[in-house]
Amino acid sequence: MMEDHMVTRTALVTGASRGIGRACAIALAQAGTRVALAARDLAKLEETAAEVRKAGVDAHVVAIDMSSVESIKEAIASTSKDFGRIDILVNNAGITRDGLALRMKLEDWDSVLRTNLTGAFFAAQQVLQGMMKERWGRIVNISSIVGESGNPGQANYVASKAGLIGLTKSLAQEIASRNITVNAVTPGFIETDMTSVLTDDQRSNMLAQIPLKRFGKPEDIAAAVRFLASDDASYITGHVLSVNGGMYM
């Protein structure tokens, strides 16, 4: 049923050039949703756009810097102008600047919070007006397992991802009466560029902690996002959906 209804929906996915964002864009396209792809790397975005178009829907590519309020404003304005309103926002873009709290530089704290949390908030703020007018909207924030469990050496990243969970619940309560849902997905250990730098030892240690005995794929996260963005999930809001193979319960 969902495919028919979602033909005219438009989604904006941040960090859509690779990994989880790319998989989300493709999954939404396969559900019949037009997709605006936002990231800093336009060449990589064009590659994702080609995959999106293979699903038979339009793709719109736009440069965005999630650490800049101006850039977010411009990207969303350009998407709305060229593509019509934005019905679905997937806040996926994120960065890491790992280091022990004792020695963490203020700029490493600031840049991670500004991109991962403030950027996501501002993107949501920018699309809400249109969603409220239409009385339909879906916001899906990509948090992380570490936002629930904590992780040494990542105080900034963990705080940003835990902050996204709090933001999700507050926004959900504010705008539920307008038929707009806000949910979060917390990925566990997913095979992406961000995790490819780990050593074999680190990887086998991680695997030992995962009851399902495998690492996740970006498509595992994309399936959860696609569901939460659909009409089938219309009675779910303020929820945190863990997609982590049982690594944290």
Catalytic residues: 157
Q: Which of 166, 172, 152 is nearest to 116 (CA)?
A: 166
CB-based burial, 1-23: b 16+ in 10 Å, e otherwise = ebeeebeebbbbbbbbbbbbbbb
Element (H, E) at 12: strand 10-14
CA distance linking residue 55 with residue 247, whole number of Å: 33
| Residue appearing with tokens 């629930």 | 148
3-state secondary structure 144-156: CCHHHHCCCCEHH
Element (H, E) at 19: helix 19-30
φ, ψ for residue 90, nearest 5 deg: -110, 105
Q: What amino acid is encoded at 145 in this protein?
A: I
